[in-house]
Structure 1
Amino acid sequence: MAVTLIAVMATDFCKYWAHRMHHEWPVLWPFHAVHHSAEVLTPLTLMRAHPFETFFRNVFISLLVGLIQGAMVFALVGQSSLLVIGGANAFYVVFNALGANLRHSQVWLSFGPAIEHIFISPAQHQVHHSMDKRHHNKNYGSMFAIWDWMFGTLYVPRNGQEQLRFGVADEEGRPLGQPHETLTAALFNPFTESWAVMQRKAGRRSIQSQHEAEADTRS
Structure 2
Amino acid sequence: MRDMPPEARPREKLLARGPQALADAELLALLLRTGLRGQPVLQFAQALLAQHGGLRGLLQATPAQLARTKGLGPAKRAELLAVFELARRALAEGLRQRPVLDSPSAVADVLRLQLADRGHEVFAVLFLDNQHRLIALEELFRGTLDQTSVYPREVALRALHHGAGAVILAHNHPSGAAEPSAADVALTQRLRQALGLLDIRVLDHLVVTQGGCTSMAQRGLV
Whether TM exceeds 0.5 here: the answer is no
Normalising by structure 1, we get a TM-score of 0.23
Normalising by structure 2, we get a TM-score of 0.23
Higher relative contact order structure (alpha carbons within 8 Å, sequence separation ≥ 6): 1
The structure with the greater share of residues assigned to helix is: 1
The structure with the greater share of residues assigned to strand is: 2
